[in-house]
Structure 1
Amino acid sequence: MDIYLKQAILQVVDRDVGSPVFSQQTLDLTSDITRDYLTNKVKKLSSAQSKTGIIKEEASLLQLITLLETDFINVSQQLVEKWYAIYQMSDDAPSADVFVVLYEQDAQPYLAFLKVNYHQAYTHYVDAESGQLVNQLIIHQSILSSKTQKADEGFSINLASRQFELIEKQYLFSGEKQFYLSQQLLEVEPAPSLEENVRVVKKAAEKIGKRFEVAKHDVVANVKEAIYATIEADGELDTAVVAEKIFKNNVSAQTEFKAEMTDKAPAVSVPVSPAVQEIAVKKYGKQKLKLSNGIELIVPIEVYQNPDLFEFINNPDGTMSVAIKNVEEVISRL
């Protein structure tokens, strides 16, 4: 996905200092280092762990961020102040830097809020106070994660449609763990992430599969196939379609699976963004098998589904064989 950064600002939130240290100028987006860092962080807000939803029209946050494009520095500071008023009440939330980013994607305006926690790291320090240069080893307390890593928390909001993607963590508030970003800042109950939904689907499928005496490896393989097929074709995880693909020709099992999913995950379908769709197709497009004799296999879905190329064979003694067929070449790699 192509991202065009328009404005960005960095605010320092060192909890040992107290109030945030607000910048009076935006970041220099002509700097390749800055632009590369922020672009990668924004892109990584779209992942299989991202929760999704739509901000309500009456949400106080929405009333604030609609002014971002006309008064970016002032409004971004108000946004961080609003967030910090909640964050500072946590018993264990760490110090961090916060980036507020205004950008465009596919000609649509977006806001990104990125919180990057501090980490300790060793570095050198040149001491010249004694009149002689002395190179010392010190611990730096405020190191940010690299551009290849996700922000510790954050969200992006499409300012036109109000749709958001969210990565959040639980912190202690009055002794109780809370997802404060969604509950208190965004004021919304987000849809579960794709990863959370897949866990629910897998658990429900294994439960129903056991009841109908379907081999566990078949159930897990069918779950992967179903997720891959529905997301690749439709861009969403539809439990009705998944049920048909997991429990082929078993209407009773399909009915029980749908009922189980209704109890565990009320949403009938879970749309995913194009970026998450690409991630999911890549992740679930291969079957990973570990056999009891220690052999491990990674098999592309299209090969796994083709009996002329790959097949499980049940032996008379109760064991199982795996047949890999019509292989033209074997390449051995170190």
Structure 2
Amino acid sequence: MFWFSRRGKIERDKLKGRMNMMDIYLKQAIEHVIDRNFGDPIYSQVGLDLNNINIREYLSKKIQKISSAQTKTGTLKQDSTMAQLVAQVTDNFTDTSSKIVRHWYETYVQSEDAPGADAFVVLFEKDTEMYVAFLKVNYHEAFTHLVGDADGKIANDLIIHQSILAGKTQRPDEGFTVKISDNTYELIEKKYTFSGEKMEYLSNRVIESEPVASLDDNVKTVKKVAEKVAKSFDIPKFDVVNNVKDAIHETIASDGEIDTQQVAQTVFSDNISAKAEFESAIHEKLPDSKIPVTKEVQEIAIKKYGKQKLKLSNGIEMTIPLDVYQDPNLIEFVNNPDGTISVTIKNVEEVISRL
């Protein structure tokens, strides 16, 4: 992989440096144990100590990581069980947290392969609004030591612990946050097996709400439609895919949304027929031409789509910042008559080899 170094300050994305990860203020939190090897859940009757900085950091990081390119969004139905529980959470947090987990567990326990986990319910404030979070963290196996006694002698043994939780830097395996004032939510979920069928149960069975597709899902849709149109008009797939990524990055960074009309203009500006076909096809998949993203996901998306990651057929891999990728004085792609592509990296002052 090549790393580029050059003089001069390159202007970065408009929002870089101005957006910080959301500030959240934990009010109450509780942990319930769902070890499927030992029967029914163990519901805690006492909240976690939020004066403990390690607990605060652990829960804050988990909540922050609910927002991602895979996050789905929506609004709870007013008459749903979850909406009714959310409305009660500030008045009786401990009891309501148990009801939230019990409501979730009634579905979760029906899965053949859903693992044991701990479930956290957290009441927190963000931007002067109150939220409740449900965080499920699966168990993992890990080895540890056990200090014991063997005939009066100290005996250190190696044992396996089967209920280890993921560290604070990892996102929850599943979870959601709900703004209490309007029931809008962000959600991440996994597929588990129910009656032999893999399904995402959290949205359609637990919160009973059809979420909006995630940023990643929408990007995949745009990319797939663009590739199909490009094939019809004999446009190189390589050029189209990279231009789609550039266009999506630009519209998210500048406007906080995916603008499919702008994508069409950027990707197919030189081919009116291809542009028209793309606009028609994408409208069938995504009727709204402008798809907003939350400010937290916007920051993540700017970083994620701010680089081009290329893997060449000869094994070379490159990660290239967009401003470098878009500058023909720094990198050039040439389509050769024999169908191959030549990549020229220009004006490099230093090459750093990293192990």
Match of 2:277 in 1: 256
Describe the shift of the 1:57–1:299 C-alpha distance in structure 2 as closer, same or farther (beyond 3 A): same
Match of 2:3 in 1: none
Gapped runs of 5+ residues in structure 2?
1-21
Match of residue 156, structure 2, among 116, 132, 135: 135
SS at match of 2:88: coil
Aligned-residue offset at 1:108:
1.2
Partners of 1:147 and 1:282 lie apart in 2 by 21
CA-to-aligned-CA distance 1:186-220 (integer Å, 9 cap, x gap): 11111111111112221111111111111111011
Calculate percent identity across the aligned residue pairs: 53
Describe the shift of the 1:21–1:213 C-alpha distance in structure 2 as closer, same or farther (beyond 3 A): same
Match of residue 70, structure 1, among 67, 91, 111: 91
CA-to-aligned-CA distance 1:211-266 (integer Å, 9 cap, x gap): 11111110111011011011111111222222222212323212222332233344
CA-to-aligned-CA distance 1:31-81 (integer Å, 9 cap, x gap): 011011111111110111111112122222111111111110011111111
Asked if 1:333 corresponds to 2:322, the answer is no
Describe the shift of the 1:13–1:252 C-alpha distance in structure 2 as closer, same or farther (beyond 3 A): same
Higher mean C-alpha displacement, 9-18 vs 53-62 = 53-62
Match of 1:278 in 2: 299
Match of residue 167, structure 2, among 110, 121, 146: 146
Asked if 1:169 corresponds to 2:173, the answer is no
SS at match of 1:270: strand
Partners of 1:289 and 1:95 lie apart in 2 by 39
Amino acid at match of 2:353: R
Match of 2:15 in 1: none
Match of 2:82 in 1: 61
Match of 1:219 in 2: 240
Match of 1:269 in 2: 290
Aligned-residue offset at 1:148:
0.9
SS at match of 1:94: coil
Gapped runs of 5+ residues in structure 1?
none
State the superposition RMSD in angstroms.
Answer: 1.9
TM-score, with normalisation over the residues of structure 1?
0.93
SS at match of 2:33: strand
Aligned-residue offset at 1:130:
4.1
Describe the shift of the 1:316–1:251 C-alpha distance in structure 2 as closer, same or farther (beyond 3 A): closer
Describe the shift of the 1:211–1:58 C-alpha distance in structure 2 as closer, same or farther (beyond 3 A): same
Match of 1:113 in 2: 134
Partners of 1:130 and 1:262 lie apart in 2 by 76
Amino acid at match of 2:244: V
Match of 1:98 in 2: 119
1:184-203 superposed matches below 5 A: 184-203=205-224
1:37-48 superposed matches below 5 A: 37-48=58-69
Amino acid at match of 1:332: I
Amino acid at match of 1:333: S
Match of residue 15, structure 1, among 17, 33, 36: 36
Asked which structure has the greater RCO (Cα within 8 Å, sep 6+), the reply is: 2
Report how many residues are paired. Answer: 333
Describe the shift of the 1:133–1:318 C-alpha distance in structure 2 as closer, same or farther (beyond 3 A): closer
1:23-38 superposed matches below 5 A: 23-38=44-59
